A and B are shown apart, each in its own frame.
Chain A
């Protein structure tokens, strides 16, 4: 069993709890031991970062230092925002200009050797597409899903150091591995509006509306995501989108770990499928239950 430090972060404690439980369930099924970082704290995102970047790095650094002390050389976090903070702390730690100040604030031993990755990177690179395919219990029948990567997972390219920044394919390949049909999705990295959801939900309405519309146009039944904020904007706010755009979208927005979890034979409840706003039971459809129907994929 692989031992990997797990940094959950605040989103996954709250609104995105289904991302948390599905991540844990999938890792468990794949034989990956997640060590939850004991006494973990805030990753240092927006509030800390806008006040003082060094404080932000130190906050994230504390989590990494504990993980290192636990004897882990990889820390995984499902949230791209947390990942950015963790990687930022590593960068600060290795920056000769800031290193001393950083260590002083941190006040605990930290070598900075640990690698921070997303759950997507864990599945795509450490587990691998072929190994995942071999573990599939219930391959999908004919479900058509588009992957939506958002802005942060692969960017900025040098920092993220994962997948093609403009045309990422890791989720495409993972979805295909569990039997999903994946059309070419042009808007896979378009902006979802991010935190404008709080202040200007009309902007988010327009932006997510375009993404959902494109997903429908390429024949998708759902959108798979790997970011709690994207999920929230596309799923929770779908009703707002409908209001702003005068549409009636009813498109499930599921976490990649939920899609994979079903294929690995994990029960829907253990993946938090019931927590989604737009019903995603189509994932459970198997080939025999449904009349075969023609699908246009454009």
Chain B
């Protein structure tokens, strides 16, 4: 074989601590190496042309590039060698940046290690074989998991592009957190007025299938051909019959049910439709409070329902959906303020969270949009907002900024002064984070036009005094301790990963960070992709963000899916296991260990059975390769011979 080696300097990224000339010189002495050189930026256009020129002029049959991580540029270089007529698997990459130059300053040791990594790559390449992908058809349906504003946007954009969409929402209605908001910053337009029509579109589009009150049970398959089992939870109401008339709700005698949509500021009934604009507008029975389930009596809703929709015998149902791509938009949950004993959240009725205050402000909320405090229904005269409750605080495991609280505090303060001009409003903050378009101006308006008192400092304690609350804090700009008496205290609780985010990630085989937010494939250049082909991200499930960014991400993910689906077929990855039938002893061990069910029996003449790999199902994990006693099954591009050649090169 005639091999060419290209040692990249990556500007000074590699050349700064590795003698790339020396690495190239040593590579030139290796067996089969016909050409070795060092280049400034191998991934640049002239760099790639240099490789292609060398392939032609030196008749190279294989290429090694020693540069950055293969995660970064292996696809780039594979394309480059392919354009020069080589098979893309006649290429190997040695990572001398992330694994060498970036992690050590010792030039001599670095140069030695880089040379050895190159030697391993050359040794492996000598055993490489051209591999060829086959084409598989793409199922052009897309699943969106999570029906908040990000998921809704993604679903609608895909639907507009003519794709069939399956939208899976855990709650009984789509809408997510945005449905609970009163107005939205920085324009102060009504949240349900801008979200409502989009929610209605979801049910009116013929090509969107909505599974509400449903969760993903399991996911198998791969890009282009996923099989997803969806658990439709028993709602005890037949939604095909339910008209959303509400007759059952009116008559239900179980009236002390926490109203989750109203953040427990009101009571709901055991049979309920969460809010008037709910989509789908269908009733659901809460088993924990329903007298039929808890006491074995009642049955009122069944009697009054004009369409006979109530069915106490209903069971969860599993439906199987075949899709080619998945967009994850599972949003977020809010930090539990009771973690801070000093604020009294969860202990004092008039210490509430920001999302509770949204419900109080909302015309469809527990108090019909009149600002009242929960304890006694009095109109508050003094309100204190506390920022960063469960954000930017490493001591509670939340060192990150939630990104939206500064803005929603300003919004809620402005709305408060709009509703009740005599009410005084204070805000205790650490720093004001308002980097969006028209955002800082908005906070300024709160301060200057609406006379909201901003105090820079943390609050140390909140406690009751008579029927009011005392807020003790410090003003770090004036360097004094301050005490404010208030009728209502609003804690701007931070954003955290949604419950169950980690479990879902395991099913999707995507990664998440230490807080449970999903990891994008590249923080700058691949923000909506994941490292699992065909799975995309949208909205807060990837990290805290506001509505405009969530919507933008929803649209971006939809665009990615459309690009994927613009082809009728996609190439399979030929790096899969392959059985050498002459060596196979038919023991069946590989079938047992394969986690993806990718190996099956194949009958030969005379009733002999041999193992056979289904290339479209195999994920290339290599478990069978390691298990097979006679080594009959080999993972292509990582065969025993290739790996041993690398080890030998290293140990020689």
Contact = CB atoms under 8 A, between A and B. Distances in A.
Contacts of A164: 341
Given A167-B347, A186-B464, 12 more contacts: A157-B395, A165-B341, A166-B340, A166-B342, A166-B461, A167-B341, A184-B464, A186-B461, A186-B463, A187-B463, A190-B461, A298-B466
A108 to B, nearest CB: 36
Contacts of A166: 340-342, 461
B354 interface: no
Interface string A179-199: 000001011001000000000
B466 A167 contact: no
A168 interface: yes
Interface of A: 157, 164-168, 184, 186-187, 190, 217, 298
B344 A167 contact: yes
Contacts of B342: 166-167
- Name the residue in B340, B341, B395, B464 with the highest tally of chain A Cβ atoms < 10 Å from its Cβ: B341
A167 B470 CA distance: 16
A23 B340 CA distance: 31
Interface of B: 340-342, 344, 347, 395, 461, 463-466, 470
Contact of B341 (A168, A190, A217, A298): A168
Nearest to B466: A298
A190 B464 CA distance: 15
Nearest to A169: B341
B652 to A, nearest CB: 38
23 contacts: A157-B395, A164-B341, A165-B341, A166-B340, A166-B341, A166-B342, A166-B461, A167-B341, A167-B342, A167-B344, A167-B347, A168-B341, A184-B347, A184-B463, A184-B464, A186-B461, A186-B463, A186-B464, A186-B470, A187-B463, A190-B461, A217-B465, A298-B466
Nearest to B396: A157
Contacts of A184: 347, 463-464
Nearest to A184: B464
A212 to B, nearest CB: 16
Nearest to B462: A186
Contacts of B344: 167
A190 B463 CA distance: 12
- Name the residue in A168, A186, A217 with the highest tally of chain B Cβ atoms < 10 Å from its Cβ: A186
Nearest to B470: A186
B473 to A, nearest CB: 14
Contacts of A167: 341-342, 344, 347
Contacts of B464: 184, 186
Contacts of A217: 465
Contacts of B341: 164-168
Nearest to A214: B463
B187 to A, nearest CB: 38
- Name the residue in B395, B461, B470 with the highest tally of chain A Cβ atoms < 10 Å from its Cβ: B461
A298 B464 CA distance: 9
A231 to B, nearest CB: 22
